[in-house]
Structure 1
């Protein structure tokens, strides 16, 4: 009988379920079919006694003795058919390790029983391997339940690693977990809306004494040195800047070496001493500086400069103090400041500080830290001069424990406003500031710098002006100005100091002053010491314009230049000679109304030259109704006309229209216009008529101060006819006239004649 199928079943059972199969062997049970159909080809129908005894020693199981078992293998007819196809065999994974495999011994022995010795050794007591107890992601940490070391506070990141009280295990790390509205800052739960050490965000600390309200620092002790300014109109200098910047825009700041001002075309940079300027190549709308160091900035959002559209200020971008170009320097503010795109913004540079006003609030920025203090509600005063930009510019002060901002209030006043109280006082008064809306100060130069359009008390005319005047700085200890030298502990100008003239400790003798570093006579204002005497360089022919510069014979010194003489050159069509309305001038007087053949004497208000001689201020000038002025006489002639030159009286005259005239109700207007030393004296005949014939004549004589130039100007000359026109010398021996033949001709409307002194 073929026992192979049965043996295969035993082997299969032992491989899969070793313990239960061993027990079945002991109990004499049957085993599952091996799944292989036995080969019954040559077996007889009856193979004899199916009960086969297997000796115990032939089937050892480990070291355990097993009783004999009857193994019924049945008859061939009992062998089942081939098993059904059960599909893909089930994946049983790794087989269980059942320890030492059961020793099946040799194949079934059908011979005589084995009578060898029975194995009576000790039983196998080795541990049974049951595999891991906890499945991923859990971990076994000693007796007890499996734990997740990513979330377990008792085993955070590893067995036995316990989190502190109040901490939770997050991703295997002990972490402080805060409940809203608090967040973790510096290992503690804080409310960034109210915590002064973490105001608005972790690490953003408010200034000493400040409180955190809604995530913003409010109030607190103001840091920084005392700084107070006083502005004057002394030692001013100005320059035209439109060619550098284009039309005015607004925005001003000073560095240690340059003044910066922004126009519509570009920001310009100007030397603080000479005001020589050039373009920066771009326009900054938010210039500001630290007056303590001369560090130049623009307000910015991150690394983007703010423009006139406003925005949120989060940083100060540092600019090159000489070129104005952007640098890598950046000051991050401790909290953001929102500024509107309107004219309600004020930018004020200070000493180690900046103050900003905008949107109805005020902020203090400490420099160079960038720490921000919200000073509370404060609006720019309505009474102020606005710039053509989104803001005005001024100066921040701090003295007596209080903050102030200085700004231009109107065309005559620069005001000082206390922050945040809003009380306003006058800082400085002036006569004419024009439309000035931005200014700043340079502590280094002890000056204040400004911009304005058109005419001010600092500059007459012009389109766009930047300039400076002296300022006094109180509070910080300042270095000497670049033009000064420290002598005996004091900053000294060696060019002007009588105690340190040209060098420290070189004192000038009594009665002398220091001029350009050289000691000399102490001369009154307007005079200069030349070769031991005080002279006026504007009029002294031996020192004309400079000591030792002598005019040649026949010339005299006029406004510091040699010129003139006993004769005159005539220009019948001069350029730029305006017809002056003497009747409308301030201080004018009207004489000779309705007068025929009369005259009135007035005095010349300034000194000038006439036919090579000096005319002093107060010289009498006789004005005749018959169209002439007789010089240096108070009782002249009313001659009806004449020829020049002529030794007969009258002589020494200026004749714009010498003829028999009858004055109208307007008569003759006399006035002095302009500013010394460039004034003009004017005698204007208004609506005069010929005594016979119809005519309406308007003409005038203009005498120029200092230079000796005489102009004849004509307005409307309706019905004009021949008249004597020209100048005659005091003796009647020489005359000059514009008339092409002789000295009588017809003056036409709007014509001009100029007489210029020559040798």
Structure 2
């Protein structure tokens, strides 16, 4: 009701203003200041009003918005007689700001980011993402495409311009007339070309001045004929503009095919690291997004890493040739170069079909005259039978034209083709969220639309299966049966306890362990499984190196073989098992010491009798002399001679050597009596140690 009342008042103002002081005329040449000759009087044209001496549009003039002398702020524009902020900006207080990048108004007016934060897509972040790496006025921007910081921080494009590869220019499809970017398709002052003004009662439709809007552009918006089903600036109704990343489909702003809206922008769930597979699913640091899942390395099909996602820069329109290079004006990416599709030419920055474009008929810039149409690259007065329908001044076949499928402006998305006036998927492909997919092989649409295979799985014949042929799917996961503890050798076979899976079999982690009684045991020391499962030692025994052995009763004893001995005193096990002392020694405090005499040169000798150590170690007696009581001398009378020595009592000559048969194990008690290995000679008798 409020908007209708405003329109009525505005219409009355236009009428009164147009009928102010006038002068008589015969033709338009008799009038000045933009007036035209109407009923013999110079009046402002329809849709304009006289402000001072000039005829202006109260609907669009920034100096006279809604009424004469009502000025819009420098950043604002006049839309339907009201001062509004530019596209994708909002009014916060008295300033137009971008809620996507303004740190003082991030996401909504008044929501200020902290001093160390930046505003990115309406969210406060501590670090600029790869896609918008440059900090300008506290915001993260991409100076290649940000119109307020085009090419460098602070370099703002003029009103109506956009930023493409760091250069301010008119949007694709628009031309610069008198320093302003205009749409020649709809601008009544520059209809089809700069300076072509439509006469009173006419409107600009598809670049031609018409007295009545044609069927393909039936709606009048701000004095122009438009198709609200497809016009991104008037989507569904006049003035309802779509975002720059959207297109108008059936009167509604939508993301382009294959994209999904997340956090107020159109993204690819297949490759966006902040929305991988679904909105809000962010890949962890160090991983990449490919086919809707976070992975470590990009696959061969999309080998190039751009802003955390995997792409093929030879074909991707947003990363063509290198990361961040966007193709413009309906271009495709071919071999890493942005170019128009086959059969299209780039005219005024937009790829068009010159076969039926009324402003570029046959070639760029060739405009068909009013009342004629473009058919097969020629301007004709009547459309031929094979292309009978008129769409935006061109002759087309609504049954098979991909740009006008079924009706004017209904463009089939990439991957679909027009058949019988319907955009359909070719071959055996199926339509899932505006994208033609192969349900037999697409992991994001496996078997049916939006059935996503889990991480590590791929789609084979319409079913999620393991991408790696060496893996097996168990419970929705791809596992290696050879070493998976939860699926060892077969799905669901779990290795108990501390067992591990090796070569598809559950085994204990250490080679010396065995699985006995439901647990891994060390058969080298386990008394219940000594040497093998179930081999229990007897009471009082312990398991040593896999054998049951006696456990010594005394703490001072050590088990040597099958005997418990005191290694501090044992002659055969002195200090340690199987460390015997030599004849003539005894074991004292775990060390072999001489029983009689002294140790000389590693042997026990009696320095009172030994001719090599007579009296002291190393004192050898001369030849034919003996050691008697520690002194070198001749054998006394009555002392038997033994070889080159004499044998004083109590020594006996045995085998050419003087020996003490009281303690010599080889000659124990006599020359012909030898003790066995397990015994020693004590007091002329073989005894146990």
Structure with bigger strand share is 1
Scaled by the length of structure 2, what TM-score is found?
0.21
* Greater gyration radius: 1
Scaled by the length of structure 1, what TM-score is found?
0.20
